[in-house]
Amino acid sequence: MPFQTLSLRSMSVSGKAFDFTELKRVIRYVKPYKPWLWSSVGLTVIMAFLSPVRPLLIQYTVDNYILNPDPNMLLNMTLIMIGILIVEALGQFYSNFNTNRLGQYVIRDLRLDVFNHITKLRITYFDNTPIGTLVTRVVSDIETIASIFTEGVVIIFGDLLQLSVVLAVMFYTDWRLTLISISTVPLLLVATNIFKNGIKSAFQEVRTQVARLNAFVQEHITGMNIVQIFNREAEEMDKFKVINREHRRAHIQSVWHYSIFLPIVEILSAVSLGLLIWLGARGVINGNFTVGNLVAFTMYISMLFRPIRTLADRFNTLQMGMVSSERVFHVLDTHEYVVDTGNEIPNSIKGAIRFDDVWMAYKGDDWILQGVSFEAKPGTTIAIVGSTGSGKTTIINLINRFYDFQKGSIEIDGKDIRSYNAHVIRGHISVVLQDVFLFSDSIANNISMNNPNITRAQIEEAAERVGADVFIKNLPGGYDFNVMERGGMLSAGQRQLIAFIRAYLFNPAILVLDEATSSVDTETEMLIQKATETVTANRTSIVIAHRLATIQKADTILVMDHGVIIEQGNHQELLRQNGNYKRLFELQFKDQISDVIN
């Protein structure tokens, strides 16, 4: 099977300055939660109009009840302002809670869609896509999308509305003080635009480097035994240093933009405040303004500059969420499926398999299978031997509908395999691979695959039939023993036996054994051979093996070379042909060959 490394940078999405199409796709996930969205919007509007009320009340209080002392009215006005503060605090709490809750529900639904989509992609996609990159898409990228709601659309709308309301009130109160207060805003807008553009590219680079780092770490932790066996720790560490350095550089680039922008905002805010105090105080002395005006406008400046400063930050947080959404939707828009238009849903199948002149290529005209034809009758065993890359595994992938073939036909029980529903036909096939994958769970759950219809009694009976119950019972906890990640607490042979129990328990019509005894010791191989006889009884079996001793009883043996069946027959027939099979047999049994033939 070809393996192509897909560049992480090729998976990155450049994006537009702001892509409303992507935003609409995210907003679709809000539909079930509209009440929360609209309540947040309503509260945001109320808060925006309520925000300039306190400065107005302070202005009125200073001019009427402080400069002209009136303790009773001063107390009343103070209580009113405290009440408004409480209302604002409650409104802010409910608005933040709703937007955060909305964001979490949206990313939950989106994550479910992405994971469900990934489970339906054909195997080629996983051959070409770093697993760490997919983990980044499903976990951290989707988590970042929540910021579209928690610090994005609704909050930005509220800040813009508050700015508009505050400016309107300021101009209504005194246009001269307003012009003084906003004199530095044009410079602030220029700085904000530069910051926005710079931080956008920085965020994109951060997400790319995070995906790259995740992919490297995931791959090397999984293959750490190979790294240590070949003493490559130092070399791999050097590679990691380079990737880690790029990750650090990307983050520092974003920090650099903030480090420049935030002081600029503070300086411009201080300049506006200084101009207001200087010119405003002179106006108070000259009788053009009141002290209340001056106090209120110092508050207005804070209410203007704080949203402008956070707007840039929030817009770029929103932009980071949009960049992440582009990456996530890029996965959702990947339609690497095996075409499944079949509607045949059989309750059972007999297991007759027929390949007729099948040609298959993973890419272009690079044929992996060339005119393959054979037939397996129900209940018989077909063995396939051949060198690596000869097309053995491709045959079982086609039977499982993991890939499509380009020419010829494949039939199961006399019907085109494409006429069957792919999900259903896989339910009648079990595969035992050379490298058995076990989940970090109990032995019982790994056998039953958490199928609630399978009882513990059925699991134990299957283990006993296969001959693996003894080793399981000797483990701490027995069937409840946690095998840990990838079954790391078990030996290769024990993992193989677990796979045999699983295959037997699901009672398939077709059983595939792919190099099932190639990496186990002699004692375990004897157990597996016994398990093989139990599991293959009365069902169609396809056995791929390098050890010819395990397939001598097969009804038919196919010898493959570069995608072509070059020999076909049972064990004795192939020995008499004096071809490739006999040569392989002699290499493996050169000491006993004369006794076997005689």
Q: For the segment 116-125, what is each residue's pLDDT rounded down to a tens digit?
A: 888 877 777 7
Higher pLDDT, 107 or 492: 107
**Whether the predicted pLDDT of 494 surpasses 60:** yes
pLDDT on residue 180: 87
pLDDT on residue 517: 57
- 372 and 304 in one domain? no
What mean pLDDT comes out for the span 42-59? 86
CATH number at residue 548: 3.40.50.300
- 425 and 380 in one domain? yes
Q: Which residue has the tokens 């769970």?
A: 441
- 293 and 363 in one domain? no
What mean pLDDT comes out for the span 105-119? 88
- 480 and 391 in one domain? yes
CATH number at residue 200: 1.20.1560.10
What is the widest separation between alpha-carbon atoms in the chain?
Answer: 125
Q: Is residue 56 part of a domain?
A: yes
Model confidence pLDDT, tens digit, residues 296-355: 888 888 888 877 777 766 776 777 788 788 888 888 888 776 777 778 888 888 889 999
What mean pLDDT comes out for the span 99-104? 86
Q: Is residue 37 part of a domain?
A: yes
- 214 and 362 in one domain? no
Q: What are the angstrom distances between the C-alpha of 232 and each of 223, 225, 226, 242, 486?
A: 11, 10, 8, 16, 23
Q: Is residue 225 part of a domain?
A: yes
Residue that is last in its domain, among 287, 302, 332: 332
Assign 8 a pLDDT band (cuts: 50, 70, 90).
very low
Cβ atoms within 10 Å of 353's Cβ, excluding its own:
23
Model confidence pLDDT, tens digit, residues 140-176: 788 888 888 777 777 888 888 888 888 898 888 888 8
**Whether the predicted pLDDT of 46 surpasses 70:** yes
Rounded to the nearest 10 degrees, the angle between the axes of helix 492-505 and helix 456-466 is 120
Look up the pTM and report it. Answer: 0.67
Residue that is last in its domain, among 299, 332, 365: 332
Cβ atoms within 10 Å of 311's Cβ, excluding its own:
17
How far is 152 from 319, CA to CA, in rounded Å? Answer: 9
- 367 and 487 in one domain? yes
Q: Is residue 515 part of a domain?
A: yes
- Classified as helix, coil or strand, 337 is coil
Residue that is last in its domain, among 332, 361, 393: 332
Model confidence pLDDT, tens digit, residues 424-440: 888 888 888 777 778 88
Q: Is residue 347 part of a domain?
A: no
Say which residues have a Cβ less than 8 Å from residue 552's Cβ, sequence separation at least 6: 571
How far is 514 from 391, CA to CA, in rounded Å? Answer: 12
Q: What are the angstrom distances between the C-alpha of 401 and each of 1, 127, 349, 414, 448?
A: 15, 16, 16, 16, 23
**Percent of all residues in the chain with a pLDDT value above 90, rounded to a whole number:** 5
Q: Is residue 281 part of a domain?
A: yes
- 139 and 265 in one domain? yes
Query: Which among 493, 487, 485, 489 has a CA at the least distance from the CA of 467?
Result: 493
Q: Is residue 342 part of a domain?
A: no
Instruction: Tell me the one-letter amino acid at 314.
Output: R
pLDDT on residue 2: 38
- 203 and 91 in one domain? yes
**Percent of all residues in the chain with a pLDDT value above 70, rounded to a whole number:** 92
Model confidence pLDDT, tens digit, residues 195-222: 777 777 787 788 788 878 877 887 787 7
Say which residues have a Cβ less than 8 Å from residue 387's Cβ, sequence separation at least 6: 561
**Whether the predicted pLDDT of 566 surpasses 70:** yes
Calculate the CA 520 to chain-centre distance.
34
If you average pLDDT over each of 78-92, 144-158, 505-519, which comes out highest? 78-92
pLDDT on residue 598: 45
- Into how many domains does the chain fold? 2
Assign 18 a pLDDT band (cuts: 50, 70, 90).
low
pLDDT on residue 451: 84
pLDDT on residue 596: 46
- 119 and 88 in one domain? yes
Model confidence pLDDT, tens digit, residues 367-394: 889 999 999 898 888 999 888 778 888 8
Domain that holds residue 141: 19-332
Say which residues have a Cβ less than 8 Å from residue 207's Cβ, sequence separation at least 6: 12, 136, 141, 144, 320, 323, 324, 327
pLDDT on residue 3: 36
Assign 523 a pLDDT band (cuts: 50, 70, 90).
low
Cβ atoms within 10 Å of 184's Cβ, excluding its own:
21
- 365 and 325 in one domain? no
The CA-based dihedral angle spanning residues 461, 466, 471, 477, taken in that order and rounded to the nearest 10 degrees: -30
Q: Is residue 339 part of a domain?
A: no
- 373 and 267 in one domain? no
- 384 and 314 in one domain? no
Model confidence pLDDT, tens digit, residues 175-184: 888 888 888 8
**Whether the predicted pLDDT of 109 surpasses 50:** yes
